[in-house]
């Protein structure tokens, strides 16, 4: 029994428990119900993860990424932890009369929507594992785990209802909001099933859980705006008027609309391709599919129409642009042409030189792939750190454009659209490792999103000057130094089976703290609000470094969000 109990306590779970405890201890009294729900969600995720890893049924049901643990606990608590940290920050803003109650109400909705998605997926995973009872009898411990998980889910629903009732003025608003939570949960269930079945061996269950809850939250936010434009009197205002604590801006609408439109494009193109092939079969019954050339032409024509006409029309419907959104982008860029065009030229030159250099090294050198990939982390620091200090608004837009390009290129690579599909596939394979697969290459997405998300979420009121730098510091500095020092000088390993070393982790934590010591005076001289103590910063950096050392999940996805949530406290 001692061995079994000890096996339940892993380094990753301990670090997650420390992070959640740090968040709970920082909550004001007004957020106690939210903290209670986060505790219940963490407990339920912990129990589900134990059941998943002690029973092979769930892991064999889905083809998760090889070499990774299930990651259910980390995947379930990450996004709700980020949102509740934003609530803590907004609570301080309201006490200083620098934010409105409507902003707090909307971020509260975002928190409950994210946690509802995670809770629904946990219930789904529990149901799947309970189906194994026909093949094997349930032990008393399994029955206990099921009962505790069910009790936690019921209590979570009660906490959610109480919280939503407190921020609603009528019972109708409460009912609509509960239905909105239900929509997020059902959408998350459908999406995670699609991801795990369509892209086998591309992600662990925890990684798929984080991606699913994030996409549903992001898409649901924009969908709420669209519905509100159609039925303005039926949708509560606090569902749609505020986005992540700020009034909606043209930049936010363009980035959100473009990314969501491109994610929907594969569905649209499949429909267009099906209609085209059906018309061909009507003309000639012997012709089943269109040629490769015709498919490529149809793809690029559909893509151009979708980007130039369909998506901008959606943006203009949601937000009142006085011109075409892409013309607005050009006007925005040329409003400060010297700074912004110079920054674009700097980025292009850095990308061309770095990518060509690293590609030749990857083909002709014996340098380990993991070290080669860390050079891209350093390149991210060189690209984003100056822009974040000097041109933060332009960087918001640039991140959206870069992610849009990545999505288009990945669609072309996966579908092998001629003439770019096959050469692009061979080029991208030069930078992949064991966490990527031929079905989906995610490392470049996770690196860019890891740097972009803390910056996007720090828009509006922000009394923690270092929070926008969470991705750049944790990935570009900490993760890179930990890998390089650990690979060259590491001797003491954190675990017998892992590759992470004590020396590497210490180097990562020390390097991040050293950069913060340099960065803080620079930000202070530029007028940034500096209200965070060095002790809380040390706790955030150390917890993030320990998570990088122990987790087997895709660290580019989790570490920046965990670091950001701790910096906001």
pLDDT, tens only, 257-284: 999 999 999 998 888 888 887 777 777 6
**Tokens (6 digits) for 243:** 């986005």
Q: Quick one: which H or E segment has residue 302? A: helix 292-305
Q: From the centroid of its chain, how far is CA 199?
A: 17
Domain total in the chain = 2
If asked whether residues 187 and 254 sit together in one domain, one would say no
If asked whether residues 231 and 298 sit together in one domain, one would say no
If asked whether residues 268 and 176 sit together in one domain, one would say no
Residue-number span of the structural domain to which 181 is assigned: 11-247
Distance, in Å, from the CA atom of 541 to the CA atom of 544, rounded to the nearest integer, reads 5
If asked whether residues 239 and 296 sit together in one domain, one would say no
Predicted local confidence at residue 77, as pLDDT:
94
**Tokens (6 digits) for 445:** 């997405």
CB neighbours (10 Å) of residue 397?
19
3-class DSSP assignment, residue 242? strand
Residue 167 clears pLDDT 70, i.e. is over it: no
- Residue partners of 152: CB distance under 8 A and separation at least 6: 40, 41, 43, 44, 47
Local structure of residue 187 (DSSP, 8 states)? H
Q: Is residue 489 part of a domain?
A: no
Q: Are 149 and 47 in contact (CB under 8 A)?
A: yes
Q: Is residue 561 part of a domain?
A: no
- Residue partners of 271: CB distance under 8 A and separation at least 6: none
pLDDT tens figures, 2-52: 445 556 788 889 999 999 999 999 999 888 888 988 998 898 889 888 887
Predicted local confidence at residue 468, as pLDDT:
92
Whether omega before 160 lies within 30 degrees of 0, making that bond cis, reads no
* Final residue of a structural domain among 186, 215, 247: 247
Q: From the centroid of its chain, how far is CA 507?
A: 26
pTM: 0.90
Residue 191 clears pLDDT 60, i.e. is over it: yes
Q: Are 295 and 413 in contact (CB under 8 A)?
A: no
Q: Are 211 and 244 in contact (CB under 8 A)?
A: no
If asked whether residues 109 and 119 sit together in one domain, one would say yes
If asked whether residues 242 and 304 sit together in one domain, one would say no
pLDDT (average), residues 396-404: 91
Distance, in Å, from the CA atom of 39 to the CA atom of 568, rounded to the nearest integer, reads 19
User: How many residues make up the chain in this entry?
Assistant: 569
Residue 171 clears pLDDT 50, i.e. is over it: no
Return the top range by mean pLDDT from 137-146, 435-444, 485-494.
Answer: 485-494
pLDDT tens figures, 349-377: 988 888 777 767 666 655 566 667 777 88
Q: Is residue 386 part of a domain?
A: no
Q: Is residue 37 part of a domain?
A: yes
**Cα radius of gyration rounded to whole Å, the chain:** 24
If asked whether residues 226 and 261 sit together in one domain, one would say no
- Residue partners of 420: CB distance under 8 A and separation at least 6: 409, 412
If asked whether residues 139 and 162 sit together in one domain, one would say yes
pLDDT tens figures, 56-106: 665 667 777 776 778 899 999 999 999 999 999 988 888 887 777 777 878
């Amino acid at each position: 029994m001692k061995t079994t109990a000890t096996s339940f306590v892993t380094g990753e779970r301990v670090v997650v428990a420390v992070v959640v405890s740090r968040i709970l201890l920082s909550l004001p009294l007004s957020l106690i119900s939210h903290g209670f729900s986060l505790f219940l969600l963490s407990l339920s995720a912990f129990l589900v993860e134990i059941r998943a890893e002690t029973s092979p049924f769930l892991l064999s049901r889905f083809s998760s990424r090889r070499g990774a643990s299930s990651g259910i606990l980390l995947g379930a608590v990450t996004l709700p932890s980020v949102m509740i940290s934003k609530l803590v920050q907004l609570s301080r803003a309201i006490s200083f009369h620098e934010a409105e109650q409507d902003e707090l109400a909307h971020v509260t909705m975002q928190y409950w929507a994210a946690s509802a998605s995670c809770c629904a997926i946990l219930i789904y995973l529990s149901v799947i594992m309970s189906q194994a009872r026909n093949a094997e009898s349930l032990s008393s411990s399994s029955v206990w785990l099921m009962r505790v998980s069910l009790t936690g889910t019921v209590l979570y629903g009660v906490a959610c209802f109480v919280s939503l009732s407190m921020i609603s003025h009528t019972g109708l608003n409460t009912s609509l909001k509960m239905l909105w939570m239900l929509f997020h949960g059902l959408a998350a269930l459908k999406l995670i099933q699609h991801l795990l079945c369509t892209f086998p061996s591309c992600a662990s269950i925890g990684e798929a859980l984080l991606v699913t809850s994030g996409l549903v939250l992001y898409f649901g936010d924009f969908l709420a705006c669209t519905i509100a434009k159609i039925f303005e009197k039926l949708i509560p205002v606090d569902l749609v008027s505020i986005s992540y604590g700020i009034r909606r801006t043209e930049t936010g609408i363009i980035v959100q609309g473009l990314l969501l439109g491109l994610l929907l494009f594969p569905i649209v193109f499949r429909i267009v391709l099906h209609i085209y092939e059906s018309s061909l079969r009507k003309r000639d019954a012997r012709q089943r599919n269109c040629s490769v050339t015709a498919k490529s032409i149809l793809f690029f024509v559909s893509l151009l129409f979708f980007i130039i006409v369909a998506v901008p029309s959606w943006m203009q419907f949601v937000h009142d642009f006085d011109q075409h959104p892409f013309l607005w982008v050009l006007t925005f860029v040329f409003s400060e042409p010297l700074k912004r065009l110079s920054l674009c030229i700097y980025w292009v030159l850095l990308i061309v030189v770095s990518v060509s250099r690293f590609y030749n090294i990857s083909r002709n050198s014996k340098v380990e792939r993991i070290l080669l990939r860390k050079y891209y982390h350093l390149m991210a620091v060189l690209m984003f750190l100056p822009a974040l200090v000097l041109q933060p608004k332009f960087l918001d837009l640039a991140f959206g454009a870069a992610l849009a390009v990545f999505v288009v290129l990945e669609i072309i690579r996966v579908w092998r659209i001629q003439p770019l599909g096959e050469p692009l596939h061979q080029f991208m394979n030069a930078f992949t490792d064991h966490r990527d697969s031929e079905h989906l290459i995610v490392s470049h997405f996770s690196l860019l999103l890891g740097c972009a998300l803390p910056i996007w979420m720090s828009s509006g009121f922000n009394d923690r000057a270092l929070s926008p730098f969470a991705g750049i510091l944790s990935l570009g500095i900490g993760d890179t130094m930990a890998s390089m020092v650990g690979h060259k000088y590491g001797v003491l390993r954190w675990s017998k089976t892992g590759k992470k070393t004590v020396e590497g982790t210490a180097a990562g934590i020390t390097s991040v703290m050293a950069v913060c010591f340099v960065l803080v005076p620079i930000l202070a001289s530029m007028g940034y609000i500096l209200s965070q103590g060095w002790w809380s910063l040390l706790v955030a950096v150390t917890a993030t470094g320990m998570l990088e050392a122990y987790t087997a999940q895709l660290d580019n996805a989790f570490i920046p969000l965990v670091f950001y949530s701790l910096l906001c406290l």
